[in-house]
Amino acid sequence: METQDALQWIAEVFEESPGRINEGTLRQDIPGWDSLGTLSLIAGLDERFDIQLSEQDIEALKSVSDLLDLLRRHGALVAA
């Protein structure tokens, strides 16, 4: 998956318009990234990428950039 595809997927998870999500978007700037959105994210990462998150992983996700880094570390996102 390339970065643009990942941004599209993230927008879908949080029910946001794709144009509102970029690498610099912070968690607090995404209304859908609340507790329910976090559960959707966890489920999506597990189902689509076979990535299971620890509690520490979840707490460390403060921005879209953090999420993209997580995908890179797990080999789900190709380097640009």
Residue 8 has pLDDT above 80, yes or no: yes
pLDDT of residue 9: 96
Which strand (E) or helix (H) includes residue 3? helix 3-13
Q: What is the pLDDT of residues 16-60, one digit of tens each?
A: 998 999 999 999 999 999 999 999 999 999 999 999 999 999 999
Q: Is 24 left (phi over 0), alpha (psi -120 to 50) or beta?
A: alpha
Q: Say whether pTM exceeds 0.85.
A: yes
